[in-house]
């Protein structure tokens, strides 16, 4: 296995030269991909509609092709689901990544072409291993297996020649045969529909496997890890997998989960690497071991545009090219891809932390914020404040969500938070005070609205028992895969629903004590 490990490590390191190429020539690489995409799609229905044959440059592209979201592309995608081809992209599209997003209950079916599989998603997977091997040259990662907690897939009933499912399941289903030797457990378990059954079978199937690395969404990997420790009676995962050295994660911010993983994997040499991989494409990889920034991957068949958030929501907002962006400003990402998504607003917001090379941090969602009183609170603000409050009160957080408290008669507005603590704070009052003060320090709009409690009262925080968010997600049919707990929402829908579930549980407990 040592020779095999050395061979694969050598292969992964070779890719670093190509990564260095787009780092050195970012604008040239983006221009090249823009031309490739337009040329490839000029004879599709979409390409003919917008006369791609006469598009000479990026500016003409922006002027001619309107910005899109899922609703505007949905009629085209629905036809592709029924088997029509050459609609948005010229090659056959038979896979669709199903996503409900975080702010809508509607199912979205994102086309996944052969090109996007090979040139984007799989390339991103290889690159994260290349970067890891480059940063840790003595790795033994290939002496064991990778545990992947993926989603599920179904045959698309609209067309027997196409399939849909979680992106993770689509990737696993299409992996090259050799990759199966380095993944665990087998497909019969990995692609199970029932999440709770999957976790149970995965736990029992992998406890005796030499797992050297883990990949997946932190939320669901925690569920699996805790079940493994319950079954084995071990104190931490290194007692189960002594050669575990690497965890690649994405889909949600790792900040609320970091302390939990440190307890589950008590090792100073454990390597955590964040990726920015969505149904629509693979966008970023954390390329530096001591920084949470991610390198924007520029040669994956994606052409990028960026809308300043102060302009987002305006009619026909101007979008910026890569050579026009600035540091530390919030942008909504717009992509055109080798799966036929054209000027597509994916719903994420980012900021650039470096312009040479282009590195980014995810700051939230275009619909994933609270701005009921002009406070403009984004996820990035919230998580920085939560981390500081946890540090000062010896707490750790499992899950959370928040919404506004709207003005009432003789009552100011505010924010209501539902938090599931993994480790309770030594004082919830002190936690709330530190959290509130930190938000004031990092968000001047929030500070102004909180001045003298005139527009906003201090945060109202509910501490709910462990398992509350799991049960809520289960109730909504959103366990596992890439489903995420919505963090901030400008309406009360989610918080009211969670509190109703929590209160029903409390009432049930009270009744059981009264009537044993």
pLDDT tens digits for 119-141?
999 999 999 999 999 999 899 99
CA-to-CA distance for 345 and 347, rounded, in angstroms? 6
Are residues 126 and 234 located together in one domain of the fold?
A: yes
The reply to whether 168 and 274 lie within a common domain is yes
| Total domains, the chain | 3
Same domain, 421 and 500: yes
Reported as a single tens digit per residue, the pLDDT across 419-473 is: 999 999 999 999 999 999 999 998 877 887 888 887 789 999 999 999 999 999 8
Query: Of 278, 294, 327, which closes a domain?
Result: 278
Q: Classify 100 in phi/psi space as left (phi over 0), alpha (psi -120 to 50) or beta.
A: alpha
Contact present, 47 and 41 (Cβ < 8 Å): yes
**Summary mean pLDDT of the chain:** 88
Cα–Cα distance between 355 and 353 in angstroms, integer? Answer: 7
Q: What is the pTM of this model?
A: 0.78
In a domain, 111, yes or no: no
**Stretch 226-243: mean pLDDT, rounded?**
96
Residues 170 and 37 in one domain: no
Task: Give dist(CA 98, CA 166) in Å, integer.
Answer: 5
Q: Is residue 288 part of a domain?
A: no
Based on the fold, state whether residues 260 and 317 are members of the same structural domain: no
User: Residue 227: inside a domain, yes or no?
Assistant: yes
Q: Please write the tens of the pLDDT for every residue from 98-126.
A: 875 443 435 789 999 999 999 999 999 99
Is the same domain home to 55 and 168? no
Cβ contacts of 373 within 8 Å, gap of 6 or more: 404, 413, 449, 455, 456
Among 428, 422, 425, which residue's Cα sits nearest to residue 263? 422
Task: Supply the pLDDT for residue 103.
Answer: 37
The predicted model gives 145-158 an average pLDDT of 76
The predicted pLDDT at position 5 comes to 65
* Pair 205, 146: CB distance under 8 Å: no
145 and 23 within one domain? no
- Contact at 8 Å (CB) between 151 and 217? no
Q: How many Cα atoms sit within 13 Å of 316 on the Cβ side?
A: 5
Is the same domain home to 134 and 46? Answer: no
| Residue 102 within a domain | no
Q: Which of 438, 441, 434, 436 is nearest to 453 (CA)?
A: 436
- Residue 482 pLDDT grade (very low, low, confident, very high; cuts 50, 70, 90): low
Is 50 exceeded by the pLDDT of residue 376?
yes
The DSSP bridge partners found for residue 176 are none
Same domain membership, residue 478 and residue 421: yes
3-state secondary structure of 158: coil
* CB atoms near residue 297 (< 10 Å): 24
Out of 243, 278, 313, a domain closes at 278
Distances (CA, A) of 40 to 4, 37, 468: 38, 5, 48
- For the chain, the residue count is 516
Domain carrying residue 498: 369-514
CATH (domain of 249): 3.40.50
Q: 267 and 128: one domain?
A: yes
- Asked whether residue 284 is domain-assigned, the answer is no
Alpha carbon separation from 14 to 10, 122, 129, 432 (Å, rounded): 7, 16, 11, 49
Tell whether 106 is covered by a domain: no
For 217, what's the count of Cα atoms within 13 Å in the CB-facing half-sphere? 20
Both 379 and 347 in a single domain? no
Q: How far is CA 101 from the centre of its chain?
A: 10
- Judge whether 310 lies within some domain: yes
**247 strand-pairing partners:** 214, 272
CA 260 – CA 271 distance, rounded (Å): 15
Q: How much is the average pLDDT of 378-400?
A: 92
Shared-domain flag, residues 272 and 136: yes
pLDDT at residue 412, as a whole number: 73
Residue 210 lies in a domain: yes
Query: Given 365, 386, 416, which residue is the final one in a domain?
Result: 365
For residues 113 and 340, give the distance between their C-alpha atoms in angstroms, rounded to a whole number. 8
How far is the C-alpha of 359 from the C-alpha of 285, rounded, in Å?
A: 9
Report percent pLDDT > 70 for the chain.
91
Secondary structure (DSSP) of 335-373? EEETTS--SEEEEEEEEEEEETTEEEEEEEETTBEE-SS
Alpha-carbon distances, residue 178 vs 139, 170, 175, 273 (angstroms): 20, 17, 8, 23
């Amino acid at each position: 296995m040592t020779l095999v490990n050395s061979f694969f490590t050598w292969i992964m390191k070779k890719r670093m030269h190509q990564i260095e190429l787009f780092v050195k020539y970012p604008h040239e690489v983006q221009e090249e991909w823009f031309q490739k995409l337009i040329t490839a799609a000029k004879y599709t229905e979409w390409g003919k509609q917008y006369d791609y044959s006469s598009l000479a440059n990026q500016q003409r592209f922006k002027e001619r092709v309107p910005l899109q979201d899922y609703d505007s592309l949905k009629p085209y995608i629905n036809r592709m689901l029924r088997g029509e081809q050459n609609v948005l992209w010229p090659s056959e599209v038979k896979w669709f990544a199903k996503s409900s997003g975080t702010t809508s209950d509607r199912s979205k079916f994102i086309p996944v072409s052969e090109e996007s599989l090979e040139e984007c998603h799989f390339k991103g997977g290889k690159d994260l291993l290349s970067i890891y091997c480059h940063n840790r040259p003595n790795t033994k990662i290939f002496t064991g297996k990778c545990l992947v907690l993926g989603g599920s897939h179904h045959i698309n009933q609209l067309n027997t020649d196409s399939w849909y499912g979680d992106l993770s399941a689509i990737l696993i289903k299409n992996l090259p045969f050799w990759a199966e030797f380095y993944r665990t457990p087998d497909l019969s378990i990995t692609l199970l529909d029932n999440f709770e059954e999957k976790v149970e079978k995965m736990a029992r199937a992998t406890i005796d496997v030499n797992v050297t690395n883990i990949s997946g969404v932190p939320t669901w990997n925690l569920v699996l890890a805790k079940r493994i420790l319950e079954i084995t009676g071990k104190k931490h995962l290194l007692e189960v997998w002594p050669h575990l050295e690497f965890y690649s994660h994405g889909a949600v911010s790792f900040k609320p989960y970091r302390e939990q993983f440190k307890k589950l994997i008590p090792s100073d040499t454990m390597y955590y690497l964040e990726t920015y991989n969505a149904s629509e494409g693979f966008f970023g990889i954390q390329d530096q071991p001591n920084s949470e920034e991610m390198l924007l991957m520029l040669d994956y068949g994606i052409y990028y545009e960026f809308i300043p958030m102060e302009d987002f929501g305006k009619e026909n907002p101007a979008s910026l090219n890569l050579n026009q962006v600035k540091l530390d400003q919030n942008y909504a990402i717009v992509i055109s891809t080798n799966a036929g998504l054209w000027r597509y607003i994916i719903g994420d917001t980012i900021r650039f932390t470096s312009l040479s090379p282009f590195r980014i941090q995810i700051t939230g969602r275009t619909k994933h914020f609270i701005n009921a009183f002009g406070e403009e609170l984004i996820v990035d603000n919230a998580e920085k404040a939560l981390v500081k409050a946890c540090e000062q009160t010896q707490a750790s957080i499992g899950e959370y969500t928040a919404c506004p408290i709207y003005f009432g008669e003789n009552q100011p507005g505010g924010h209501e938070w539902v938090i599931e603590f993994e480790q309770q704070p030594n004082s919830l009052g002190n936690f709330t005070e530190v959290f509130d003060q930190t938000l004031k320090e990092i968000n001047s709009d929030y500070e102004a609205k909180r001045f003298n409690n005139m527009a906003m009262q201090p945060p109202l925080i509910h501490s709910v028992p462990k398992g509350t968010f799991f049960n809520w997600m289960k109730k909504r049919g959103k366990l596992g895969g890439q489903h995420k707990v919505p963090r901030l929402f400008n309406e009360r829908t989610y918080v009211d629903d969670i509190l109703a579930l929590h209160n029903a549980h409390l009432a049930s407990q009270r009744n059981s004590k009264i009537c044993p």
